[in-house]
Amino acid sequence: MSVAMPETDERVLETGFDATIAADQRIEPRDWMPEGYRKTLIRQIAQHAHSEIIGMQPEGNWILRAPSLRRKAILLAKVQDEAGHGMYLYAAAETLGVDREELTEKLIDSKQKYSSIFNYPTLSYADIGVIGWLVDGAAICNQVPLCRCSYGPYARAMIRICKEESFHQRQGYELLLAMANGTDEQKRMVQESTDRWWWPSLMMFGPPDGDSPNSQQSMAWNIKRHTNDELRQRFVDMSVPQAEALGVTLPDPELRWNDERKAHDYGEPDWEEFKAVVAGSGPANAQRVAHRRRAHEGGAWVREAAQAYADKQAARKNEARKAAA
């Protein structure tokens, strides 16, 4: 649309866009927007959607082995929610002019990625609790500000998602409380799982602000509202009393209250590991993508059958209409 437009028109449109952002109003799908803004959003929303979809796998791993019908039903509902989150987000991405089918193909061809956190395996049932507590907890820190993101469809999808996330975090924490009040073996499982997930959860906020040049543009566009380090700090401060209530130790010797800053000091995550995991050498990376591909390709016949049925019904209706005329 902007291709054939004279330069001055484009400048008028850009001024309008800038004014909308400056007034902290929402940009809607049919509004003019700079190419960079559109591209950033497509990338972010698509990879966010992929993260929800891939995120079903580590937890889905435990549905059949959940220890009671109650826990099974809860976990099933939680994993189903994550599928829903993926769907809301693909719908938002499509308003920017990309095709959902195409995004799925980019995921299984590894041309688009998903969050590093889902490349870690779920080794014990306590991981189900810790994922709800820490991983969904970190996701909530990231997602709540996105409810005020400048792109309307993304912000609205995030509002739906955030409403559901609080169930995710609470069911995880409650599961851990049950185990923490259980046998010594169960207590050990909770501690062991916390030890494995704490650092990857901190890494969910991305590299330190100094190494995150892209964030500045996103903040200027009101897509991102807080820096990586601000959100990480918030998460650490929230988690410390929660860990205390559970009776687990967070595996960071440098973690302590800083009375001057009125916040906790904490150690530096291992960014080398982080880079390797995002790049795809995480413990479960190949498995996650292969599983998604298998599910997509294995489901092809169902989609084709549904299409064939729809075609047949449409043809029948047409004939009936002709016969009646």
Partner 1 sequence: MNTPDEEEVTAEGGHGAVPVTGVETGQGEKPSRRTWPLYEVFVRGKRGLNHVHVGSLHAPDDEMALHNARDVYTRRNEGVSIWVVKADDITASSPAEKDPFFDPSADKVYRHPTFYRIPEEVPHL
The reply on whether position 255 binds partner 1 by CB under 8 A is no
Which is nearer to partner 1, 217 or 287 (by Cβ)? 217
DSSP 8-state symbol, 55: T
Q: 264-303 mask for partner 1 (x: CB under 8 A)?
A: ----------xxx-xxxx---------------------x
Q: 237 by DSSP, 3-state: which?
A: helix
Calpha distance 89→157 (Å, rounded)? 6
The reply on whether position 59 binds Fe ion by CB under 5 A is no
Alpha helices in 118-276, H assignment, sequence order: 126-130, 136-146, 152-180, 184-203, 213-220, 228-246, 271-276
* Binders in 71-110 for Fe ion, by CB under 5 A: 82, 85
The reply on whether position 122 binds partner 1 by CB under 8 A is no
Calpha distance 308→317 (Å, rounded)? 14
Which is nearer to Fe ion, 85 or 224 (by Cβ)? 85
User: Which range in 58-66, 258-266, 290-298, 305-313 contacts partner 1 by CB under 8 A?
Assistant: 305-313
DSSP 8-state symbol, 10: H
The reply on whether position 50 binds Fe ion by CB under 5 A is no
The reply on whether position 124 binds partner 1 by CB under 8 A is no
The interface partner of residue 12, options being Fe ion, partner 1, none and the CB cut-off 5 to 8 Å by kind, is none
**Min CB(90)–partner 1 separation in Å:** 9
Mark 273-310 as b/e (b = at least 16 C-beta within 10 Å).
ebeebbeeebebbeebbebbbeeeeeeeeeeeeeeeee
Q: 184-213 mask for partner 1 (x: CB under 8 A)?
A: -------------------xxxxx----xx
The reply on whether position 214 binds partner 1 by CB under 8 A is yes
The reply on whether position 134 binds partner 1 by CB under 8 A is no
Calpha distance 169→95 (Å, rounded)? 30
User: Which range in 38-46, 176-184, 245-253, 258-266 contacts partner 1 by CB under 8 A?
Assistant: 38-46
The encoded tokens of residue 230 equal: 């601000």
* Binders in 129-188 for Fe ion, by CB under 5 A: 136, 165, 168
The encoded tokens of residue 102 equal: 């195409």
The tokens 């995880």 sit on which residue?
172
Note the residues at the interface with Fe ion (CB under 5 A): 52, 82, 85, 136, 165, 168
